[in-house]
Structures are given as C-alpha cells and as structure tokens.
Amino acid sequence: MRRRLLVVLGLVIVYRFLAHIPVPLAEPTQMKEVIDSVVSGSDFGGFLNLLSGGALASFSIVLVGLSPFITASIITQLLTKAIPKLEELHKDGESGRRKIQQWTRIISVPLAVVQSIAFIYILRQSVLAGNTTALSDPTLLEWIVAVGAMTAGSVLLMWLGEIMTEQGVGNGLSLLIFAGIVSQMPQTLQTIGTSLVDTSETGKMHIFNWFTVPVNPLAFWVTAAILVASLLVLYLLVKINEAQRVVTINYAKRVQGNSSYGGVKSILPMKLIAAGVIPVIFAVAFLSLPAFIGQVLKATGNPDFVDIGNNLVQWFQTPNPGQFTGDTWQAFIYPGLYFLLVIIFTYFYTGIVFNSNEIAENLQKQGGFIEGVRPGLQTEKYLSRTMNRLILFGSLVLGTIAVLPFLAEYLLYQIAGVQNANLAVGGTGILIVVSVALEALRQINSRALMVTYDDYK
C-alpha cells in the first residue's frame, strides 16, 4: 500500500516538473512574461491555465494536457454504444476493453497534434496583437519541434495517468487534474489576501469601535459569506458523493454431499452518483471546445471568421470571467448548457460503469436473488429502474452544485455590486477536487481493508 501511494505521489511530482518545462519556441523568460499578460487578459486563458495546473502560463510541453484523451474517450464510448460490434467487444471482458482503450490512445495522438497547432497559432496571434517580437515567425523546423514536444507531453501525461490508475488508488486522469487545480491554490489564496488588505483611510474596518484593522470591509464580508457557503456546499457534496441505496441479495441454500452452501444474505450498494466527477470533467471539456474554436477563428484575422469567433467566445463564456451579471441572455448559455451536460454525461457514464444486465446474469449464475424479484430479466429491470431513479436525483443535484457559483456571482452583483468574485472557476475546482479526493480515499480504504483481511486469514 505504501509503495502504491509513493508511486502516485512520485508521478504527481513528475507532472508538476513537466508543467514548468517550456516548449522550445522562444526565449523562456521573455515568453513567460508575454504569456502572463495574455492569460490575465483572457477569460478562456485563465480557466485553461487553472485546469492545466499553470502549464499555460509557462507555455509548457504539457499545455495540451489530457484534453485529447478525454475527447477520444467520449468518442470511443459513444461509438461503443452506437456500433453493435464494439459493444460486443466491450462485453468480451478485459481483453475487449483493452482493445478499445488502445484505440482511444491512438485517436488521442492526432487530436493532440491538432490542438498543439491551434494553441501555438492562437498564442502567436495574441502575442502579435500585443505588438511584441517575443514570438517571431517560426520556421517549419520550429513548428515541427514545438508541435512534437506538445504532442509528446500530452501522450506522456496520458501514460502517467494510466500508471496511476493501475495503482488502484484513484482514477489517474482525475488525479492529474486534481493535482493541477490544487497547485494553483496558493496563488488563489494570495489573490484573496491581496483583496482583503487595504491600507487606505476608506478601507479600514472598525472592530466594535475599539480599534481599526487595515481590511477592506466589503471584501471581508464577501469573503466570509463565500467561505460559509463553500463549507455548506462542501458538506452537501460529501453527503451526495457518499449516498447510496443498499439492495439486499439473498443466496439460495445448496447441498453438495455433506456440505451446504449459500443460505446467506449480502448487499449490493448502488451509489447515488456512480459516475463520480467524470461527468463534470467531460462537461467542462466539451464546453471548452466551442470557445477554443472561437479563439482559433478570431486569431485568423478574417473579418467573417472573427465575427463567428467572437460569438462563440461570448456564448460559451468560460467560468473564469467573474463577471456573471446576467445582463444579457447570452450570459445564461454557458450555465444552462453546463447544467444539461452534467446530467447527460451522468446518465451516459453511469450506463458504462453500472451494467444491470451483467449484474443480473452474475447473480443468477451464483444463485443470488432480490427478495420479491424474479432472477434474470425481472432483476435486470428492477436494477435499471432503481438506478435510473437514483441518477435522476443525483444528476440534478450535481448539476445544481455545478452552476451554483454562477447564481452566487449573480446575487453578489445584484446585492453588493461585486463584479469580479471569480466564484465559478473556484466552484468547478472545488467540485472536482472534493469528488476526486473522496473517490481516492474510498479506494485507499478498500485496499487497506483487503490487506487487513489478508493479515487475519
């Protein structure tokens, strides 16, 4: 167990080192200064920088990250449901799933190449718009080296994630995204601290009229309200993640010779959110695609494409602007689609991780049955009906928690006039961090329990 945890920790450290290795395209220090200004002035760039663990600000070789692999996973899973031969291959067991996983890796490579080219193109156009020569016109060889480095970085991350998954202490993809978000927390705390401290005369807070402290009163109360609300959401999120419906399984008593088998009861836990945080990650990745395409179209400079790009960026605004005032109907497109996609991906991914047909067949082979339900087809229908009810409630709650920061930003703007709370990016980050941490802790406890059983055999 200790070895598994140390391997995961070591891979996270390797990932954080990789996030600071720049793409060989220009002088690193000068490039970082230029990119910092581009990221700070771009909503899309700020959110992407959070999910990449600061790789965008460093223009790192792992900038493309796991986005190609996530996109390829969505494509292959959709094809598995749509194409009968792939579905049969998926049901063949471990060997079939390994083949599908291999195809997912293969699809990820061309996607990583395309995204690498697009990132370099967008960055170059953004830098040129700032009237700086930090990124001159790259030669063909420089393009090949840069795209090759970014593609290799994406494939390397994919490999690291799979090694982490094999250790059995959590999903490697989720753990890498978790590490990237957590790595940005010190910077977030520094920003909060800077907004609280105000040395001006009007920015002093009176404590019971006894003394004053150099703290901005409005920033203090807003931060306190956000902290209390975050703790409540955190409590709700933990409860929702841990909630489950317990189905009692009875096993028929069988007599073989002088020995009898069965005649015992067991349980089948059905989680309220069986898909975990994957729906949120998929929804964020899916929604970032239109804004990414919009940035590419804007970078072309063609007036026709620029208008389309501006509309895409405006409609699919990322959760980083901190200015969700709801003044226009376009502001509600992203939260609305975010909510719907979380629900859709919850249903979609739960159908993959919880196969009622397979569970019913295994129970029937083992002589197990649910009281009052016939084995076989009736058991499958019962499990499907129960899981669908759980998914409906769980996905609605998960979607509500996902868009709750947008509602908080809107209320803060309407009530207190606060227009740069940056809650939405923090809400998405907390949602991913808490869910991944709970799932990892659950798997660690399961493995620890297995070790305990081995000791007392």
> What single string gives the DSSP state of each residue in 276-327?
TTHHHHHHHHHHHHHHHHHHHHHHH--HHHHHHHHHHHHHT--S--S-----
| Residue 156 burial (CB count, 10 A) | 15
Give φ, ψ of 299 to 5 degrees. Answer: -70, -20
Distance CA 61, CA 71 (A): 19
User: What's the Cα-to-Cα distance from 419 to each of 314, 414, 423, rounded to whole Å?
Assistant: 17, 9, 10
Q: What would the pLDDT profile of 114-160 be if each residue is shown by its tens digit?
A: 888 887 777 776 655 554 555 566 778 888 888 898 899 889 989 99
197, β-bridge pairs: 215
Shortest CA distance to 443 belongs to which of 5, 66, 70, 13?
5
Q: Would strands 244-251 and 265-271 be described as parallel, antiparallel, or unpaired?
A: antiparallel
Residue carrying the six token digits 């292959």: 76
CA angle (364, 90, 279) in 5-degree steps: 100
Within 10 A of 242 (CB to CB), how many other CB atoms are there? 12
Strand, helix or coil for residue 169: coil
Residue 312 CB contacts under 8 Å (≥ 6 apart), including other chains:
290, 291, 293, 294, 297
Residues facing 259 on adjacent strands: 256
Strand partners, 244: 271
Which amino acid, residue 366?
Q
Entry pTM: 0.73
Rounded Cα gap, residues 89 and 103, in angstroms: 12
Domains of the chain: 1-183 (1.10.3370.10), 216-457 (1.10.3370.10)
Q: Is the dihedral of CA 49, 18, 65, 171 positive or negative?
A: negative
The C-alpha atoms of residue 386 and residue 408 are separated, in whole angstroms, by: 33
323 CB neighbour count, 10 Å cutoff: 16
Vertex 198: Cα angle to 197 and 199 (nearest 5): 120
Helix segments in 52-93, DSSP class H: 67-82, 84-91
Query: Is residue 400 a contact partner of residue 388, using CB atoms and an 8 Å limit?
Result: no
Six token digits for residue 82 = 């749509």
Tens of pLDDT, residue by residue over 363-410, are: 888 778 888 888 888 888 888 899 889 888 888 888 888 887 777 777
Mention every residue, 6+ apart, whose C-beta is less than 8 A from residue 405.
319, 423, 424, 426, 427, 428
Helix%, strand%, coil% for the chain, nearest 5: 70, 5, 20
Q: List the pLDDT tens digit at each of the 457 positions of the chain.
A: 788 888 888 998 998 888 888 887 766 666 666 666 555 545 455 555 555 555 666 677 888 888 888 888 888 887 887 788 887 887 777 788 788 888 889 999 999 998 888 877 777 766 555 545 555 667 788 888 888 988 998 899 899 988 988 887 878 888 888 888 787 777 767 766 776 776 555 556 666 667 676 777 777 777 787 788 778 878 888 888 788 888 888 877 665 566 655 567 788 888 888 877 778 878 877 887 787 777 777 767 677 777 787 777 777 765 444 455 556 677 778 888 888 988 998 888 887 778 888 888 888 887 788 888 888 888 888 888 998 898 888 888 888 888 877 777 777 666 655 555 555 555 667 777 887 888 888 888 877 777 666 555 5
DSSP class of residue 243 equals -
CA 423 vs CA 118, 300, 410, 411, 418: distances in Å = 28, 32, 10, 12, 11
